């Protein structure tokens, strides 16, 4: 499978772009970034130096993914999403001198398999978004998101669960069980953790 890179995109020669991936107009992929196979990087998106994307990721237009973010397979990152990397951002030191890389310790956002980050959401590093979790559009994530959690708001809080299909789960007949209305898959909740299956 061929790699597609738009003529107006900027892809550093040290970046690795997996087979079948596409980097569209005005997107930037910085040095030593690694994109897996079949990824799609939308118009104007920014993939910072050293960022890693797994296979089958979709980064929508104007998303900003700052180092040292790590994104697993099958993650959706919506339009204008921002992954931050500095807990205490300043342009200058206390002495008024412009900061350089040596004055700063980057912290990253980690997205696990199948997670979805809605349009214009902000993930404030360091946070981990769990497997198949869903962050609603416009949310601000300041703490870790559990696997399969549906989080909304500022700051983001869990309001439900979603399955692999991405639709909210429905409470089952038994306490602690949840069912996907689309696929019929069953999930079990215990101590605030949702797991696939019934056991």
HSE-CB for 25 with a 13 A CA cutoff: 0
User: What's the longest Cα–Cα distance across the chain?
Assistant: 63
Angle at 37 between CA 137 and CA 141, to 5 degrees: 25
Residue 189 tokens, joined: 């909740």
Q: How far apart are alpha carbons 64 and 161 in whole angstroms?
A: 26
Positive or negative, the Cα torsion across 165, 169, 170, 176?
Answer: positive
Known catalytic residues are 62
Parallel/antiparallel/unpaired status of strands 186-190 and 193-196: antiparallel
φ, ψ of residue 27 to 5 degrees: the values are -75, 155
Any idea which residue has 């900027």 for tokens? 10
């Amino acid at each position: 499978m061929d790699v597609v890179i738009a003529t107006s995109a900027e892809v550093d020669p040290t970046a690795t772009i997996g087979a079948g991936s596409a980097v569209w107009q005005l997107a930037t992929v910085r040095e030593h970034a690694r994109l897996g196979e079949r990824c799609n990087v939308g118009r104007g998106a920014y993939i910072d130096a050293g960022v890693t994307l797994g296979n089958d990721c979709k980064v929508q237009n104007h998303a900003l993914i700052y180092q040292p973010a790590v994104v697993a397979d099958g993650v959706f990152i919506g339009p204008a999403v921002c992954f931050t990397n500095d807990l205490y951002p300043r342009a200058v030191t206390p002495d008024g001198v412009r900061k350089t890389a040596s004055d700063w310790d980057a912290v990253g956002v980690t997205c696990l398999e199948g997670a979805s980050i809605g349009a214009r959401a902000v993930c404030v590093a360091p946070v981990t978004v769990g497997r198949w979790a869903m962050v609603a559009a416009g949310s601000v994530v300041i703490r870790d998101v559990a696997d399969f959690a549906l989080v909304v708001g500022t700051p983001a809080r869990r309001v439900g669960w979603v399955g692999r299909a991405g639709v909210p789960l429905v409470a089952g007949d038994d306490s602690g069980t949840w069912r996907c209305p689309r696929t019929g898959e069953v999930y079990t909740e215990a101590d605030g953790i949702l797991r696939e299956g019934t056991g």
